[in-house]
């Protein structure tokens, strides 16, 4: 499970061929961290351990997607987009093509490949990412953290149940002659 750290302004306008500029603008990436192209941005995100080379997308948070461009004038420049998957598994992918008004949002990786393929450009999906250009937009909530919180809450609940008779009088008032320091750790 992931939580959103930065809510992107997806409705930002875009210019053709400036996919990274569009994505950076949606998340308000600081100028000093913006890279020259999507391939460099991908490589940096991968070095940080943010890139997941699969299609097991997080649900109900915006995340980044990367592709390599394998031929043509933009070969080696890469492609980047921002995406969202809802509870029902519906995918929406937004890039500079969508937000310059050339088309509606994509609903699959195949649609992205077909769109670029229609002008002879071959893409290879590289994975989804937790961030781009040194800006992390989502964070994984690990299961062990939830377990620790559950244990602490259980301990507090036990203290409420078992501690009350030792600290309170029958009329519900606090027995002020007994003081204990309880550390919830």
Q: What is the pLDDT of residue 10?
A: 96
Closest among 107, 10, 7, 121 to 57, alpha carbons compared: 107
Measured distance CA(28)–CA(88) in Å, rounded: 29
52 and 68 share one domain:
yes
**Four-point Cα dihedral 43, 46, 52, 55, nearest 10:** -10
30 and 101 share one domain:
yes
116 and 25 share one domain:
yes
66 and 8 share one domain:
yes
Closest among 108, 107, 130 to 51, alpha carbons compared: 130
132 and 148 share one domain:
no
Please give the residue range of the domain that contains residue 154: 142-185
Q: What is the pLDDT of residue 165?
A: 45
E strand or H helix that includes residue 91: strand 91-94
pLDDT tens per residue across all 185 residues of the chain: 999 999 999 999 999 999 999 999 999 999 999 999 999 999 999 999 999 999 999 999 999 999 999 999 999 999 999 999 999 999 999 999 999 999 999 999 999 999 999 999 999 999 999 999 999 999 999 876 556 666 666 665 555 444 444 445 556 555 555 444 445 55
132 and 162 share one domain:
no
What total number of domains does the chain contain?
A: 2
The CATH number of residue 44's host domain is: 3.90.1720
- Its pTM stands at 0.78
Closest among 3, 38, 8, 44 to 21, alpha carbons compared: 38
């Amino acid at each position: 499970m992931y939580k959103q750290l930065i809510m992107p302004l997806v409705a930002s306008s875009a210019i053709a061929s400036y996919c990274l500029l569009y994505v950076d603008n949606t998340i308000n990436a600081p100028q000093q961290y913006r890279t020259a192209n999507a391939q460099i941005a991908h490589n940096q995100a991968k070095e940080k351990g943010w890139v997941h080379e699969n299609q097991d997308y997080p649900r109900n948070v915006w995340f980044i997607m990367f592709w390599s461009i394998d031929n043509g004038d933009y070969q080696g420049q890469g492609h980047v987009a921002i995406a969202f998957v809802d509870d029902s598994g519906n995918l929406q992918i937004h890039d500079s093509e969508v937000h310059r008004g050339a088309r509606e949002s994509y609903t699959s990786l195949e649609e992205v490949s077909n769109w670029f393929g229609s002008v002879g450009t071959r893409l290879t999906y590289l994975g989804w990412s937790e961030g781009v250009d040194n800006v992390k937009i989502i964070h994984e909530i690990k299961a062990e953290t939830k377990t620790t919180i559950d244990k602490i809450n259980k301990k507090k609940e036990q203290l409420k149940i078992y501690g009350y008779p030792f600290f309170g009088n029958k009329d519900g008032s606090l027995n002020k002659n007994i003081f204990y320091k309880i550390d919830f750790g």
